Structure 1
Amino acid sequence: MCSFKKRTLLALGVLLVLVQGVAQAASYVDVLDLPAKPSALAPRSPLLDLTSAGQRLVAVGQRGHILYSDDSGTNWQQAAVPVSSDLNAVHFPSAEQGWAVGNDGVVLHSSDAGATWSKQLDGRQIGELVFKHYSALAAAEPDSEQWAALAAEGQRLIEEGADKPFLDVWFADAKRGYAVGVFNLILATRDGGQSWVPLQDRTDNPQGFHLNAIAFTGDGLYLAGEQGLLRKWDAAQERFVAVETPYQGSFFGVIGRPGELLVYGLRGHVFRSRDAGQSWQQLDSGLEVSITAAVLDANGDYLLFTQAGHMLRAGADAALQLVPQAGQSPVAGATLAANGALVLAGGRGVRALPVE
């Protein structure tokens, strides 16, 4: 009897473990299928980028949080978002149409100035998309090692799953745009995100360095990334061509105006070019902390921000000066509100600085 009871208890124990495991498995929902949870603390949670959508401000961040403000950053509302993936960047080419990208290869679209969002793409689809595109090219040119290697990269993406983040996004208008990310991941659309085409073969990046940023500066569309990577779109060649830079560390952003270009990044490095990248001048930030965001203010001065919250200003002569602040916190994104206020996003959420 004792032995029978032991076997019965053991069997019941095993059954209980199995039932608990099934229950836990049944309760798991992929962040790509789990809508972002509403939270009163969202405006004070980590946010990684923000931009203007007409008069509105839109910020994106961790756990799929997207916020919008219609009063220049004083009050914020949380948008309806279909995923809980961390979101790294947002861009609106018009007041109504916008895109956000983030971890797990997610691409989101809004057609109502950021109040609601729909998913256009995620990492579960990207590997197959890359594989099919370059496999077709490899079949058409079987002697090409490039197409075979890129098709193999697509197969690797399929096998590794949806874990490759997009780091930035830029759209020229409601139809034409790009999403860029780790290991030379770059996709382009010409139909507002209904379909995407890989451009890994058009970045002059055979090492597969991360593409950290994409921006239009006024005289060209640029990519910035690891190991001093800077690329400019060449419409005649239909590719991003290499622009030589004097720095071999990572660039986190690019900003400029017609006739001038600034790139910034790791350990306080900032470089300026006034001849489309033919020559460069290093601007001394006096800092050893990474510069992570930049914006042009209403006077046309550059404002640059660090991951520790420093603010630097560069006027017409582009000399960098540290701007004193009453308090500072890490900055990941910056923009100007409709009333001229400077609005910042970072590890402690969003905050608006008063208009001077």
Structure 2
Amino acid sequence: MRFLIFTIALLVCSFSLTSYGFQSESPSPAIQAPLADKSLLLDITQVGQSKLVAVGEYGHILLSNDGENWRQANVPVQSTLTSVYFLTPELGWVVGHDSTILHTSDGGESWEIQYFSPELEKPLFDIAFDNENHGIAVGAYGQTLRTSDGGKTWQSEFHQEFLLPDDVEYLAELKQEDEEAYLDEIAFILPHFNKLVKDGRTLFLLGETGMLAKSNDFGVTWQQFEDIYQGSFFGLARTKTGNLIVAGLRGHVFRGIKNGSNWNEISTNTTALLNEVLISKDDRVLILGNNGVLLESTDDGLTYRLHPQKDGKSLIAGVLFNGKLIVVSDVGIKQISL
């Protein structure tokens, strides 16, 4: 499949934001909750060799050294937190609702606000860093924030390359006629950006309406994969043989060979929403989904076996840790033996 190669630079609308965005009032800190590890959690990551960090509703950030016993970090917001990313065992970031960006420099033990702007009414869904200075956060309606100073300041970007040609023409005319209406329109015209996946020098972006793109300059410009399907994508990983597995709505899984130059839809025998793709050390492909769906492939993603979880709870994100699959769900932390 040929690529639609975008070389359009970022469209105007790039401006410096202070650490707290357009904050009108200080947020309330998260409450220490005895049952936080049984509440809705939305992401989890491994930090170093022996620590896990999970995030979720009410500003909950949980830490564990064994996957069984969890403690709650002190967090300065009660916003729902959607994604966690660590660049090193010490340096990490979390994003969430209210356009929240939090930062830690001590491995997740303490957190500070780098950006908080509930007035935007746009949740952030994911974040990634290329090094300790350069990072990018993405979210609803194509919201994109970039930093070049480790998060001290963030710049808003509008990625025109994801617009349809008719929308590009429409916006150009609107900008000439009514600058205020133009700014209102670009705030909500782009699809949701659901996930960032860093794969070596390549950064992948997954979103609504079949949007799947890659960048070799850390998201300054994007190449979009064309016409895979029209639903949303939520998870992507590269197999040990170099092929790409991407998953999304209603059980849709696609396998991209030759770095995604050709895509094939793979049967999964499920219609559940699929949230994340993981690759185990023994080359198994594991896909986590809603309704307790766990898919497993032992042939590089060509075929899948369904392992339904008895409680039927959503498997939202997970890590392979100490021989087990540690998953976050709508009922907190779950351990699945492999």
TM-score scaled to structure 1, two decimals? 0.76
Q: How does 1:9-20 map to 2 (within 5 A)?
A: none
Higher strand fraction (1 or 2): 2
Greater alpha carbon shift after TM alignment, 253-262 vs 177-186: 253-262
Identical aligned pairs, as a percentage?
A: 36
Query: Of the two, which has the highest radius of gyration?
Result: 1
Residue number in structure 1 paired with 2:106: 112
Structure 1 Cα separation of the partners of residues 75 and 218 of structure 2: 38
Q: Could you tell me how far 1:303 is from its partner in structure 2?
A: 0.6
Q: Could you tell me how far 1:32 is from its partner in structure 2?
A: 5.8
Q: Is 1:249 the equivalent of 2:231?
A: yes
Residues 89 and 167 in structure 1, CA contact (< 8 A), matched pair in contact too: yes
Structure 1 residues 203, 70: closer, same or farther in 2, change over 3 A?
A: farther
Cα deviations by residue, 1:31-66 (Å, 9 ceiling, x for unpaired)? 961000001010000000100111200000001001
Q: How does 1:85-124 map to 2 (within 5 A)?
A: 85-123=79-117
Higher helix fraction (1 or 2): 1
Structure 1 residues 67, 327: closer, same or farther in 2, change over 3 A?
A: same
Q: How does 1:313-332 map to 2 (within 5 A)?
A: 313-318=296-301, 319-323=303-307, 325=309, 327-332=311-316
Residue number in structure 2 paired with 1:353: 336
Q: How does 1:151-300 map to 2 (within 5 A)?
A: 161-201=119-159, 203-205=161-163, 207-218=189-200, 220-235=202-217, 238-257=220-239, 259-300=242-283
Q: Tell me, which stretches of 5 or more residues in structure 1 are unaligned?
A: 1-29, 125-160
Residue number in structure 1 paired with 2:8: none
Structure 1 residues 205, 113: closer, same or farther in 2, change over 3 A?
A: farther
Q: How many residues align?
A: 289
Q: Is 1:62 the equivalent of 2:57?
A: yes
Q: Tell me, which stretches of 5 or more residues in structure 2 are unaligned?
A: 1-23, 165-188
Cα deviations by residue, 1:57-105 (Å, 9 ceiling, x for unpaired)? 000000100101011x110000000000000111112111111000000
Q: Could you tell me how far 1:238 is from its partner in structure 2?
A: 3.8
Residues 254 and 264 in structure 1, CA contact (< 8 A), matched pair in contact too: yes
Residues 204 and 241 in structure 1, CA contact (< 8 A), matched pair in contact too: no
TM-score scaled to structure 2, two decimals? 0.80
Q: Could you tell me how far 1:240 is from its partner in structure 2?
A: 1.5
Structure of greater relative contact order (alpha carbons < 8 Å, 6+ residues apart): 2
Q: Could you tell me how far 1:315 is from its partner in structure 2?
A: 2.2
Residues 272 and 281 in structure 1, CA contact (< 8 A), matched pair in contact too: yes
Structure 2 Cα separation of the partners of residues 240 and 209 of structure 1: 15
Q: Could you tell me how far 1:340 is from its partner in structure 2?
A: 2.6
Structure 2 Cα separation of the partners of residues 260 and 95 of structure 1: 28
Cα RMSD after superposing both structures: 2.2
Q: Could you tell me how far 1:343 is from its partner in structure 2?
A: 0.3
Q: Could you tell me how far 1:250 is from its partner in structure 2?
A: 0.8
Residues 94 and 173 in structure 1, CA contact (< 8 A), matched pair in contact too: no
Structure 2 Cα separation of the partners of residues 259 and 219 of structure 1: 14
